[in-house]
């Protein structure tokens, strides 16, 4: 995948600057092109598109929702090889979309955003990047929530003599036959541990908290087999939201399903006790696997029911005092989600950074616009995730919202800034609706919840269809107080 090299004569002034070339950024680029808007650039710090699916190449990486839901509704993929698509297929799909939709010429690969500042007098964003400055009328962040690996502060980690890496920075040259330690039991770990068990001499898994695991039922599609209809799957997925409301019959049924899966696959009561969570299903991310529990019962795989506390040479020391000699240390420890590092780089009106605005947890209006940051739109940011459905459902609605905002500016002129009252009202609604969900009442700590404020800041506490209906069309009313009738920046539409 190649894109424009800014040092080779690319424009330094664009109408729309998009940061990130994952599913959100490439999807927006495709829709901008379809709308006839060519004055945009997509900045990507890596050398290829794909986001999460470019970065995560660990063995076993795959989608954890049905493949049919993991493509754009305006450009479905009719030929997924499996019910749950492997990561490499999803990555290739994003690359294909960039090529087929004419997005590639707008890519500025190897270009990292280092600073973005709103200039009131010019009604424009001034961006500093690793390849030079850029000015844009509109700034859209599309960096996602799984882009910055979280590395634990573990004494001695820096002196470990073997190979150590995060699951999202996989060592492609890792040989077989090694002693491997895996820290974490989240979505990445349950995919990679069974694969490691097939090729390692030994595997020890350090589990801080056991996850709830549901049956997966993955399989390859037969040649010529019809794929499920996306719309029908979307409706079915949305019905799962009921199980995310604490105390409902649906929640109890989901727990029974998870408990049955555990009982069926783990006959040993002692091991089963170690693998039984003490919180509600869905409070943390619900996981799907048919080979996680069997992998943990293999003779060369050890489950250590506690976190690591230190690394001493090649020895991994657990909280229990147990010590494990390992050659490789894999950190399946998640990502910086509630406090996204990109927020430190963006400065709005009055010199306030987005991180400062979000000091008590991320807030927004419609999960997309932020008061104090004119002409900024955040994709896949505050309360834009779904705990029961495909993230693309919200992302596509946000793309529609941004396109509607651009169309409105064509008519009204001037920058768009959402009012403080609108942001506060949306935040109150989120808090009120989140209060009854398992994400806040389920008895766990998760990356969905801001660690300082205790607010649910990552997920939309409702059905995907409702979000799309309400926010898939731009409503200028919450913005009207800040629209100024000044001329637009010059540049292509």
pLDDT of residue 11: 65
Rounded CA-CA distance 324/333 in Å is 19
Q: Are residues 318 and 414 in the same domain?
A: no
> What are the pLDDT digits (tens) for 394-411?
999 999 999 999 999 999
Q: Are residues 322 and 375 in the same domain?
A: no
Q: Is residue 209 part of a domain?
A: yes
Contact 435, 446 (CB under 8 A): no
Q: Are residues 38 and 97 in the same domain?
A: yes
Mean pLDDT taken over the chain: 94
pLDDT of residue 413: 87
407-441 CB burial, b ≥16 within 10 A, e <16: ebbeeeebbbbbbeebbeebbeebbeebeebbbbb
> What are the pLDDT digits (tens) for 185-202?
999 999 999 999 999 999
Q: Which portions of the chain are predicted below pLDDT 70?
A: 1-11, 481-493
> What are the pLDDT digits (tens) for 84-96?
999 999 999 999 9
Name the residue among 384, 463, 478, 388 with its Cα closest to residue 424. 478
> Per the structure block, which two tokens stand in for 213?
């695991």
pTM of the model: 0.94
Q: Is residue 318 part of a domain?
A: yes
pLDDT of residue 483: 40
pLDDT of residue 489: 33
pLDDT of residue 486: 30
In order, the DSSP letters of 119-149 are: ETTTTEEEEEETTEEEEEEEEEE---SSSSB
Rounded CA-CA distance 17/243 in Å is 39
Q: Is residue 236 part of a domain?
A: yes
Q: Are residues 470 and 424 in the same domain?
A: yes
Q: How many domains does the chain fold into?
A: 2
Which of 313, 331, 349 terminates a domain? The answer is 331
Q: Is residue 389 part of a domain?
A: yes
pLDDT of residue 70: 92
Q: Are residues 351 and 419 in the same domain?
A: yes
Domain span at residue 90 reads: 6-147+336-482
Q: At what angle do helices 464-471 and 391-412 cross, to 10 degrees?
A: 10
Q: Are residues 163 and 120 in the same domain?
A: no
Q: Are residues 326 and 197 in the same domain?
A: yes
> Per the structure block, which two tokens stand in for 176?
């077989």
Rounded CA-CA distance 69/389 in Å is 8
Q: Are residues 349 and 301 in the same domain?
A: no
pLDDT of residue 7: 45
Q: What CATH number should be reported for the domain holding residue 459?
A: 3.50.50.60
pLDDT of residue 3: 65
Q: Are residues 290 and 377 in the same domain?
A: no
């Amino acid at each position: 995948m190649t894109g424009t090299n800014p040092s080779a004569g690319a424009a330094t002034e664009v109408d729309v600057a998009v940061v990130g070339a994952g599913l959100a950024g490439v999807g927006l680029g495709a829709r901008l092109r379809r709308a006839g808007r060519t004055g945009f650039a997509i900045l990507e710090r890596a050398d290829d598109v794909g986001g999460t699916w470019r970065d995560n190449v660990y063995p076993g990486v795959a989608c954890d929702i049905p493949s049919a839901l993991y493509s754009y509704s305006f450009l479905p993929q009719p030929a997924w090889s499996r019910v749950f698509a492997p990561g490499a297929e999803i990555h290739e799909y994003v690359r294909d979309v960039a090529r087929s939709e004419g997005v590639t010429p707008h890519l500025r690969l190897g270009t990292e955003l280092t600073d973005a500042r709103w200039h009131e007098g010019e009604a424009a964003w001034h961006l500093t990047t690793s390849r030079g400055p850029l000015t844009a009328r509109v700034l859209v962040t599309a960096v996602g929530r799984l882009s910055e690996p979280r590395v634990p502060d573990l004494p001695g980690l820096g002196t470990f003599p073997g190979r150590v890496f995060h699951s999202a920075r996989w060592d492609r040259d890792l040989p077989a036959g090694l002693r491997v330690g895996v820290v974490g039991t989240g979505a990445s770990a349950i995919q990679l541990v069974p694969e490691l068990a097939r090729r390692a001499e030994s595997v020890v898994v350090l589990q801080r908290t056991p996850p709830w695991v549901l049956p997966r039922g993955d399989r390859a599609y037969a040649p010529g087999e019809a794929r499920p209809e996306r719309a029908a799957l979307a409706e079915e997925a949305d019905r799962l939201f009921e199980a995310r409301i604490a105390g409902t019959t649906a929640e109890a049924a989901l727990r029974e399903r998870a408990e049955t899966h555990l009982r069926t696959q783990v006959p040993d009561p002692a091991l089963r006790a170690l693998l039984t969570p003490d919180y509600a299903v869905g409070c943390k991310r619900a996981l799907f696997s048919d080979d996680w529990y069997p992998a943990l019962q293999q003779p060369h795989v050890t489950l250590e029911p506690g976190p690591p506390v230190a690394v001493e040479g090649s020895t991994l020391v657990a909280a229990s005092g147990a010590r494990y000699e390992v050659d490789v240390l894999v950190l399946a420890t998640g990502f910086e989600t509630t406090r996204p590092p990109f927020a430190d780089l963006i400065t709005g009106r009055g010199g306030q950074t987005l991180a400062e605005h979000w000091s008590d947890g991320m807030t927004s209006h419609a999960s997309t616009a932020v008061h104090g940051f004119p002409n900024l739109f955040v994709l896949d940011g505050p309360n834009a995730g779904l705990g029961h459905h495909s993230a693309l459902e919200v992302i596509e609605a946000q793309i529609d919202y941004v396109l509607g905002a651009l169309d409105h500016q064509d008519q009204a002129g001037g920058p768009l800034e959402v009012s403080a009252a609108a942001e506060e009202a949306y935040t109150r609604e989120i808090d009120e609706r989140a209060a009854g969900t398992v994400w806040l009442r389920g008895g766990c700590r998760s990356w969905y919840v801001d660690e300082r404020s205790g607010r649910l800041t990552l997920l939309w506490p409702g059905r995907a269809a409702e979000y799309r209906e309400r926010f898939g069309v731009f409503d200028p009313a919450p913005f009207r107080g800040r629209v100024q009738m000044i001329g637009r920046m010059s540049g292509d539409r």
